[in-house]
Amino acid sequence: MLDEKPSLRQYLPNILTKGYRNARWEASAETGINLANFGENCPYKIEEILNHQFLCNTTYDFERAIDKE
């Protein structure tokens, strides 16, 4: 969609910020892990997220959050 409408790219930082904020609340509620254990800012860059070959290491991130408790 960004290829067809490149002007939408300007909205990505705001969408990522809001989406990550909501996701950390949901992750905390689902896992019972204290919200403070999830970083306040998304650890991934927009360029990484948009890269089709990018694969975040959610297992590592989850284990790291558990270890902080």
> What is the structure's pLDDT at 9?
93
pLDDT exceeds 70 at position 5: yes
Predicted structure pTM score: 0.69
Tell me which residue range forms the domain holding 58: 6-68
Using a 10 angstrom Cβ sphere, with 0-12 exposed, 13-18 middle and 19 or more buried, the burial of residue 21 is middle
> What is the structure's pLDDT at 1?
85
Note the pLDDT tens digit of each residue in 38-48.
889 998 899 98
Is residue 1 domain-resident? no
Is residue 47 domain-resident? yes
* One-letter amino acid of 23: A
| Distance between CA atoms of residues 57 and 62, nearest Å | 9
Is residue 62 domain-resident? yes
pLDDT exceeds 90 at position 24: yes
Q: How many domains does the chain have?
A: 1
| Distance between CA atoms of residues 24 and 15, nearest Å | 14
Is residue 56 domain-resident? yes
When pLDDT is cut at 50, 70 and 90, the band that residue 10 belongs to is: very high
Is residue 54 domain-resident? yes
